[in-house]
Amino acid sequence: MKFEELSEYFQKLEATTKRLEMFDILSEVFSRADRRDIAKTVYLMQEELLPPFFDIQLGMADRMVEKAISDAHNVDLETVKAYSKKVGDLGEAAEKYDHRKEKSELSVSEVYDRIFELSKISGSGSVEGKITSLAKLLKEVSPLSSRYIIRFVMGKLRLGVGEATIMEALSKAKTGKREFKASLERAYNLCSDLGYVAEVFYDKGEEGIRKFEVRVMRPIRPALAERLPSAEDIIKKLGRCAVDQKLDGFRAQVHKDGEKVKIFSRNLEDITHFMPEIVAAVKKLKHRRMIFDGEALTYDEDTNTLYPFQITIQRKRKHNIEEVSENFPLRLFVFDMMLLDDLDLMNEPYVKRREMVDETFAEDSTICKNKEIVTDSVKEFTKFFEETVGAGLEGVVAKKLDSPYSAGARNFDWIKMKRSYKSQLSDTVDIVILGYFKGRGMRANFGIGAVLGGVYNKNRDEFETLTKVGSGFSEEQFRELRKMLDEISTEKKPARVNSIMEPDVWVMPRYVITVKADEITRSPIHTCGQENGVGYALRFPRAVSFLRSDKDAGDVNTTHEIIEMFKGQKNVKLKA
């Protein structure tokens, strides 16, 4: 496929606000793509060169892109700057000053490869090298293609295409039906690389996807837990179950292949660089190939006590790691095993996977097994929970004994219970920012007075509004938030956002904040779980974290979870 054709599809996607139209457009794109282009087409749709765990950065600031546009089209640099500032879009500036009349013959793969090569330019002279390479590419494409190349390079393509919609469209394009999406999603959950999944699908067909297996060095999308408020509820749901201590640290998925070790975060970023002591300990393990799941926390070597997350987060830096490691060493608590040598454990029952953990790891070392009991007694469960909370930990996670490792899924195979669940909605909720309202009164100086937040409806692959949040932010945070949100603002409501409320400024769903509220109520002005014109909303919400760097938009609480939390409130009225 020519990149010019793909640009025309980008234009159609940009113009729609309806998910069904988006699905039809994507289905048409994927039906035209072949095996050579499909992975790169998917990556471009996802607005990334490769998945996050590859850590590929384009590294081009506004001034560099402005210079590339100026050089490519022989336009005065100040003119480019003035126009882009006026319209707020360097992509439009590239399109305006590109006077080519003929369409480009460059393919999707050729344009993608040129951008990828640009990302690898580094060292002395890299700024000039990137500007020259981008300018050269812009000279060879049409005005429309220039618009989308520049937006991609700037991280502002803003198509709003979700993974679920991409998988559904791939299924329709190759099988004529949507139903194969479930198989594609399973494969994606095993490798976290949708472009690679698409390539296998186009190369080996449905059978290749059905036989898809885990691969070392490709992170598995983590299994997640549902929540219930009491030991009685959990034992009633699971019966006899394993109960793990719930730790408040870095979720760490460890991959070992001989001497090579990689560690991935909850949102699948490569965090190997700031865990050198964990890497060293993994290399000493006798097994050749391994994938296991755990939680990493800093601890005091003198007292052997764990530090809170606020201390552990200091490890997430790129400089002076050795010094930080010495002052705040890490310990990794392992709670699951997905692969051991040549044995794929994904579909094995939890009890067998836990046996592998117990056989492989000790109780007190740099890498150790997480503390666990197995019980069907509410009294014993409660005692373990109280002991865990008393030790300063978050709570517990109960696990169904015969459950597989449910990659990428949040279900009742795992159920978490935190100390905050004991009271009426004192638990927090993660929401994604969908837009903001301009400041009034004293907040007029910040340019922002509140944000519109939403949760994710997995069945519909859309974000539904839950609350408007204006408290909990400092003055400095309001100013920083305004700047960050303006960079991802969009003139109209994104296609995958379902909202009755109209903020002053819409933004692409990207940034996640954690909020606390007095309770969940029924509301006609929010779309979360809306039926017969009535949805769910948070009463008196306030932000308790600025931005969650460990979570993406798809990691926020779901509509289903909000409804379950609503039902679990004390003295709740289930009818609107």
> CB within 8 A of 137, min separation 6: which ones?
111, 114, 115, 118, 149
Fold for 224-422, please state it: D-amino Acid Aminotransferase; Chain A, domain 1 (3.30.470)
Residue boundaries of the structural domains of the chain: 224-422, 429-568
Give the C-alpha separation, 296 to 263, whole Å: 11
Position 180 scores a pLDDT of: 97
Query: How many Å apart are CA 101 and CA 78, to the nearest integer?
Result: 25
Output the pLDDT for position 423.
43
Output phi, psi for 331, to 5 deg. Answer: -130, 135
Give the C-alpha separation, 248 to 428, whole Å.
14
Series of mean pLDDT values for 10-residue runs along the chain (576 residues): 96 90 96 94 96 89 94 94 91 90 88 96 93 96 95 90 94 96 97 97 97 96 91 96 92 96 93 92 96 90 69 68 74 96 96 96 88 96 90 90 95 88 63 91 77 94 94 89 91 92 94 91 93 91 85 90 82 37
pLDDT at 446: 77
Confidence (pLDDT) at 576? 30
Residue 441: its pLDDT value, please? Answer: 67
CA distance 245 to 261: 26
Burial class of 163 by CB neighbour count within 10 A (0 to 12, 13 to 18, 19+)? middle
What is the domain class of 429-568 according to CATH? mainly beta
Q: What are phi and psi of 219, to 5 degrees?
A: -65, 140
Instruction: Give the C-alpha separation, 407 to 404, whole Å.
Output: 9
Task: Tell me the C-alpha distance between 521 and 33, whole Å.
Answer: 47
> How many other CB atoms are there within 10 angstroms of residue 223's CB atom?
22
* Cβ density class 392-424: b for 16+ within 10 Å, e for less: ebbbbbbbbbebbbbbbbbeebbbbbbbebeee
Residue closest to 248 by CA, chosen among 204, 203, 197, 310 = 310
Tell me which residues are annotated as active site: 246
